[in-house]
Structure 1
Amino acid sequence: AKKHLEAAQALITEDRVADRGELTADDPLVPDLVGGTDATQRRKSVENQHTLSLFYLAQVYGHQGDKSKSAEYCGITLCRQLAADEYDKDDWLQNCTQLAGFYLGEGRTRCCHYMLTAALALLEREKAAEKGVAEEVEANVQLGWGKMHMSRLEESAALRTAQESPRTADDLRDELHIPEHLRFDALGISVSAAEEVASVGSFEDARAVFNEGIRCFNDAMKCYTQESWFTEHFEILIDVSNLYRSLSLFETDPHRRCVMQKHRIKAIEKLADDINPKLYLGLYRSAQLECGNVYRDIAEIKVAEGREPQKVAHAALKAISFLEKFLATYKDELDSGKRIDS
């Protein structure tokens, strides 16, 4: 499949159609085309076939494990679909949001921001035209934004903890983040400014990023409710916990840091013992571990602050309780001598 798709791509890349003008009846491309004898329609058909070939190449590279190449062809496909006004809005938004997630994982935050800006622009355009968008698709766009803000805050907190200077807009300005083939000119959006993705150094700036992130996650949870999408809902709660953890590293007041830590697991702790480990073992482990780690952090803050021993002990005992439940889920593996890597 890859061989034939690449051959089709090469055929169009050579621009045979553009160089020779209108296709002739004996052109080898003609039998597979639709649109009659009109040159414009025939050219449009060729371009649509080319876009489809690029889409299939993205799938092929993905199956081969070449994620970068798959992302490149996915981006080109999205750009061509938008330019030709030939796309399914839900599929386009979903693919654009997923591509943003890929770039975020690659550390290309500026490119991620641009992709999410494109998704939001199309979403708003479709809603303004009173064209329905699937609820979960809209939620995924918000979720993508939330994860980007979370990642930005996590990076900033890590730099602060390591006592390193934050990455400024000047550090990012010259980095190549937005390839030309990803420019969605049809949406009328500009390339994301470096200031929009630079790390932050002050509590005030960190709080602003936090507020944007928490708003996006809350919007996503309007769709991904505990009752209808339990796994997705729980995963968002973990993301919210990470937001609070990162923000707390910018706070200097110990009491306020403890309050933020408690906010991390306010919702997770309520669910921790209600999750059935036989049905949701991974989620159960995550809940117990998250709660245990938070109470451990609270105990450490109280120790550093010189608080009363009983208050330190209360947090420490809570941490032990949750962590013991987490470890207990590995009892069968441990009893059988099975190696546990994570």
Structure 2
Amino acid sequence: MADHWRRVCDTYQRAIAASEVESKDDPENEPYRSKYRARELLREVRALLGAEEESGERQEDEAQDEDTQSMLAARRAVIEYRLGVNHTETEEMSAGEEHLVKGTRLLERYRLSHDCVSTYIQAQNNLGILWAERGEIIIGQKYLESAESLYLQYMKKIGKPPVDPDEHFKPEEQKLTEQERSKRFERVYTHTMYYLAQVYKHLKQDEKSAQYCHTTLQRQLEYDGYNPVEWAINAATLSQYYLGKQCYMESRHCLAAANVIFSKAGQTPSPEAAKEDEAEQERLDQLRQKRAQIARCWVKYCINLLQDARKKLEDNIGELDVELQGELKAKRRKEEDENEKGRKKAVLFGSSDIYDSILAVEEKVVCSLPLDFKEAREVFLVGQNYINEAKEYFQLDGHVTDHIEVIQDHSVLFKVLAFFEEDYERRCKMHKRRIDMLEPLCMELNPQYYLLICRQLQFELADTYYEMMDLKVAIGNKLDEMDSHTIKKINSLSQSAIKFYEMFLDSLRNPSDKKFPEKLQEDVLRPALVAKFHIARLYGKLISSDLKKQLENMQTSLNYYTFLVEYCANDEEAVKSVETELELTRAMVALLPARMETLRAQLT
């Protein structure tokens, strides 16, 4: 009997080794060779245990006590569970489901027992994943929530670390310690949490998904069961959820933790060393990519923080409300400390050994809205550092779309920082930096392949020139009389803005006959009408001492305003998209003809 049991255990261990170790070296033309070998060994174990393959049932010996029956059911169920996993790993989902369901049925009566609970939960986890991957999210949810419920029930009623599935086929001297059993069981439950987070995300239950994701990350740190790179990416992703909810303290904490845990991924070898080893080169590239992705999440954090501060501080014409600024500063000093202490308890990651490192990263950037230029600039500089980090990987050669998105984020950082700058000349210089980084890209890209990106860049460049023109007009209006240099600059900026708005509008024309569409598509409706409105206004801003030229500019301006009124007369959706602009446009359509008549009178 002892020899028979040793053979059972030895065969089982060989199956696990084939599946988990040897399979890593399987050739590309036989990717599942070791998995199939493991399957045969598991079937051999099942035969040795005396399992009846066809029915999967076994008449219980009435003389056996409950514990013995539980133990025998557990052994058979472990084999079914392992076969189920084996089939799903080799993409045989129906067979995998059959074995996993068989395993849970064998354990149904004993699912709360010390011998069986871990195997039962793992089988349910795998059934949950299997159904979710089939697109049957609700069925997957039921299995996973059942696994969660069983874990909570077991811990409440029994609490003792249960037997790990593989222990059923180990000699007594190789059984796990209570501590190791506990760690493994907690990892099983962590997997339940992780899969439920994905399920709730698919079901658009974002808040619940975020809670489960947060719990998963915390438990992975607590029970030391995680891949540092994967953990860091998941934490950075979670930070973006908190960002959307304007929970900046939580978002920053996730990003700081991502930085700290990512640093545990191992030393990055030099590019020279990596060249000699293809696998190492691939690992290096992966590390650089993930690091750049985390950097981009930091950039979004800085942008959102600045943009939300702007929304809070701007008056009805989009300028800084100085009075409100003072009120918010006073209010913040009063409330900040209490709020931070209360909220942080719910969000901390990790134990004391990494918390100090996380805190050190957090201290480099605020989590409260910046209320003046000095505070905004500090956030801007953090964002700019991460922009540079992201650009190291996402270069134009090989990563066109990502590179341009990073550059656009850099432009947005400058744009929102300019809001806090009270000096108009310095503000102009910030917008000029945006133009210097965007214009070369716009000119270099082929619209045939990157039409949408080209449109984005054209519109942003036009808006930036437009904003600079407005600033130069405001600077000129403070002078007793505009000098020729200021007039020349205003005209030059206006013409550049017109050029890029026209490029954007031309991209909407039919490629064959070059006609402008009679009905604009929804995604370009507002941008196109705003471009028409801004061009009309820009022609009105052009300064000329030549009365005939003034009249030409007025006529062009009126033509664009008229287009807008006539288009909106035939499209209710258009009216909704440009309500503010349309009101001003109608006023200009009414005023301009009279002004033009006055100018014509001066010419005659």
Map 1:102-117 onto structure 2 (within 5 A): 102-117=241-256
Which secondary structure state, in structure 1, belongs to the residue aligned with residue 166 of structure 2? coil
Structure 2 residue 231 is the aligned partner of structure 1 residue 231: no
1:34 counterpart = 2:34: no
**Superposition pairs for residues 1-342 of structure 1, below 5 Å?**
1-16=140-155, 19-23=158-162, 33-36=165-168, 37-38=175-176, 39-127=178-266, 134-162=287-315, 163=321, 164-165=324-325, 166=328, 168=332, 170-173=334-337, 174=339, 177-178=343-344, 180=346, 183-185=349-351, 187-189=354-356, 196-306=366-476, 308-332=486-510, 335=517, 337=519, 339-342=521-524
Q: Given that residues 33 and 45 in structure 1 are in contact (C-alpha distance below 8 angstroms), is that contact kept between their aligned partners in structure 2? A: no
Q: Label 1:94 to 1:252 Cα distance change in 2 as closer, same or farther (>3 A).
A: same
Q: Residue 182 of structure 1: CA displacement?
A: 5.1
Bigger relative CO (Cα 8 Å, ≥ 6 apart): 1
After TM superposition, the structure 1 stretch with the greater mean CA deviation from structure 2, 287-296 or 320-329, is 320-329
TM-score normalised to structure 1 length:
0.88
What is the count of residue pairs matched by the alignment?
A: 335
Structure 1: how far apart are the matches of 2:470 and 2:518? 35
Q: For residues 72 and 169 of structure 1, do their structure 2 counterparts lie closer, same or farther at Cα, with a shift above 3 Å needed?
A: farther
Contact 1:258 1:301 in 2 (8 A): yes
How far apart, in 2, do the equivalents of 1:188 and 1:35 lie?
A: 35
> Shift in Å at residue 179 of structure 1?
6.3
Contact 2:255 2:294 in 1 (8 A): yes
**Amino acid of the residue matched to residue 316 of structure 1?**
S
Return closer, same or farther for 1:14/1:265 CA change in 2, 3 Å cut-off.
Answer: farther
Aligned-residue offset at 1:120: 1.3
Give CA-to-partner distance per residue, 1:94-123, whole Å, 9 cap, x none: 111111111112111110010011011112
What letter is aligned with 1:324? E
Q: Which structure shows the bigger proportion of residues in helix conformation?
A: 2
Distance in 1 of aligned mates of 2:345 and 2:167 = 33
Distance in 2 (alpha carbons) for counterparts of 1:160 and 1:22: 55
Cα distance change on mapping 1:252 and 1:336 into 2, 3 Å: closer
For residues 506 and 412 of structure 2, the distance between their equivalents in structure 1, rounded to whole angstroms, comes to 25
Cα drift, residue 33 of structure 1 = 2.5
Contact 1:35 1:45 in 2 (8 A): no
The amino acid that maps onto 1:311 is K
Unaligned runs of 5+ in 1: 24-29
Contact 2:459 2:501 in 1 (8 A): yes
8 Å Cα contact 1:146/1:216 also seen in 2:
yes
Identity %: 28
CA distance in structure 1 between the aligned counterparts of 2:220 and 2:349, rounded to whole angstroms: 12
Q: What is the CA-CA distance between 1:141 and the residue it aligns to?
A: 2.0
* Bigger mean CA offset, 208-217 vs 126-135: 126-135
Give deviations 1:137-187, integer Å, cap 9, x for gaps: 111222222221222222233333232334636444426654636532262
Q: Structure 2 length normalisation: TM-score?
A: 0.51
Q: Which moved more, 1:171-180 or 1:195-204?
A: 171-180
Cα distance in 2, alignment partners of residues 236 and 294 from structure 1: 17
Secondary structure at 2:393's aligned position in 1? coil
Deviation at 1:317, TM superposition (A): 0.8
The letter for the 1-side match of 2:307 is E
Larger CA deviation: 165-174 vs 105-114? 165-174
Residues 1:273 and 1:122: Cα distance change in structure 2 (over 3 Å)? same
User: Alpha carbons of 1:213 and 1:129: their partners in 2 closer, same or farther (altered >3 Å)?
Assistant: closer
Contact kept, 8 Å, 2:193 with 2:215, in 1: the verdict is yes
Q: Distance in 1 between matches of 2:148 and 2:516?
A: 54
* TM-superposed deviation, 1:81: 1.2
Alpha-carbon spacing, 1:339–1:125, altered in 2? closer, same or farther (3 Å):
closer
Aligned in 2, Cα 1:143/1:177: closer, same or farther, shift over 3 Å? farther
Task: Report if the CA contact (8 A) 2:307-2:416 is conserved.
Answer: yes
The residue type paired with residue 124 of structure 1 is: S
* Larger CA deviation: 324-333 vs 138-147: 324-333
User: For the residues of structure 1 that align with 2:456 and 2:463, how far apart are their CA atoms?
Assistant: 10
Please give the per-residue CA displacement for 1:52-90, whole angstroms capped at 9, x wherever unaligned. 111111111111111221111111111111111111122
Distance 1:180 1:254, change over 3 A: closer
Deviations 1:221-266 (A, max 9, x none): 1111111211111111111111111111122222211111110121
**Does the Cα contact within 8 Å between 1:275 and 1:284 map onto a contact in 2?**
yes
Give the superposition deviation at 1:314: 0.7
What CA RMSD, in Å, does the superposition of the two structures yield over aligned residues?
Answer: 2.8
Q: Distance in 2 between matches of 1:35 and 1:215?
A: 51
Distance 1:172 1:280, change over 3 A: farther
**Structure 2 SS opposite 1:222:** helix
In the superposition, relative to structure 1, how do residues 183 and 90 fare at CA in structure 2: closer, same or farther (>3 Å)?
closer
Conserved? CA contact 1:157–1:247, under 8 Å: no
What is the distance in 2 between the residues matched to 1:129 and 1:229?
Answer: 21
Which residues of structure 2 form unaligned runs of 5+? 1-139, 169-174, 270-282, 316-320, 477-481, 525-604
Alignment-mate amino acid for residue 34 of structure 1: D
Q: Distance in 2 between matches of 1:150 and 1:240?
A: 9
- Deviations along 1:285-327, one digit per CA (max 9) or x if unpaired, are 1110110000000110011111532211110111111111112
Q: Distance in 1 between matches of 2:522 and 2:288?
A: 39
Q: Give the distance between the partners of 2:412 and 2:401, measured in 1 at CA.
A: 17
